[in-house]
Amino acid sequence: MLIRNETVGDIPAISRLVTEALLTLAQSTGTEASIVEKLRADSALALSLVAEEKGEAVGYLAASAARIGTQDGWALIGPLAVLPSRHRQGIGTALMAEALLRLRATSRGAALVGDPAYYGRFGFRSFPGFGVAGCPPEVVQALPFDGIEPRGELIHHPAFGLDQQV
Ligand SMILES: CC(C)(COP(=O)(O)OP(=O)(O)OC[C@H]1O[C@@H](n2cnc3c(N)ncnc32)[C@H](O)[C@@H]1OP(=O)(O)O)[C@@H](O)C(=O)NCCC(=O)NCCS
């Protein structure tokens, strides 16, 4: 398996794979592929990683700049998506490992909204006073690279449609 940056030729496959993977998630909004398109159109994809196997895109991870409270320099990971037929084969783990390696060089930490049962294995956890309005606190997680605990609201890029501004 190869983890690499997206190319122009990947764009239709990324949209299909994100849509298909997220359909398997009960809390999916069905808008995740269009969020990626909006981030791309706004040149806001800090990372756009494709997992490729035998010439096929089987997994995808996006990251974009985010703020926590008044603190800039965070990276928001999401969406992370793996083709349903390829779940539980280590593709999500490989994408996350590469993303964290790269983000350590550019960001003060990574944050995301997702299932703690999955993201806990990468070191993500919730913190008191850290969250997103309307989300259960345990699903809003961060991995500070400098050990400093995040505090305040996790502010996504406007492409996520959460009525917030970075
Ligand atoms: C979540 C997702 C990205 C995981 O990718 P994956 O390639 O299937 O995951 P991996 O094979 O790297 O899994 C690593 C471990 O996590 C476990 N795992 C996978 N999905 C999990 C989940 N949803 N909850 C808890 N554990 C999970 C696997 O069993 C595996 O554990 P093991 O090493 O003890 O066997 C993938 O299942 C997916 O695309 N799901 C639909 C979209 C989604 O939920 N995206 C995240 C949005 S928050």
Report the C-alpha gap between 86 and 61 in whole angstroms.
15
pLDDT, tens digit (0-9, with 9 covering 90-100), for 83-140: 999 999 999 999 999 999 999 999 999 999 999 999 999 999 999 999 999 999 999 9
Domains and CATH numbers, the chain: 2-160 (3.40.630.30)
- Say what the pTM is: 0.95
Q: How far is the CA of 61 from the centre of ligand 1 (A)?
A: 13
- Closest residue by Cα to residue 48 from 17, 70, 89, 86: 17
Nearest alpha carbon, ligand 1 atom 35: 88
Q: Identify the band that residue 165 occupies on the pLDDT scale cut at 50, 70 and 90.
A: low
In this structure, which residue's CA is closest to atom 46 in ligand 1?
Answer: 80
- Between the CA of 70 and the centroid of ligand 1 the distance, in Å, is 32
DSSP-derived letter for residue 125 is B
Q: Above pLDDT 90, what percent of the chain? A: 93
Residue 164 confidence class, pLDDT cut points 50, 70, 90: low
**Cβ neighbours of residue 69 closer than 8 Å, sequence gap 6 or more:** 150, 151, 152, 153
Output the CA torsion 87→33→131→149 (10° steps).
70
Whether 22 lines ligand 1, by a CB cut-off of 6 Å, is yes
> What DSSP designation does 12 have?
H
The answer to whether the CB of 87 falls within 8 A of the CB of 121 is: no
Task: Kindly state if the Cβ of 87 falls inside 6 Å of ligand 1.
Answer: yes
Residue 63's beta-bridge partner residues?
47, 77
Predicted confidence at residue 130, as pLDDT, reads 98
Contact status, residue 94 vs residue 104, Cβ threshold 8 Å: no
Q: Report cis status (omega within 30 of 0) of the bond before 79.
A: yes
Picking from 153, 159, 162, the residue whose alpha carbon sits closest to that of residue 64 is 159
pLDDT, tens digit, for every residue of 38-55? 999 999 999 999 999 999
Shortest-distance Cα residue to atom 27 of ligand 1: 118
The confidence band for 29, taking pLDDT boundaries of 50, 70 and 90, is: confident
User: Is the shortest distance between the CB of 77 and ligand 1 below 6 Å?
Assistant: no
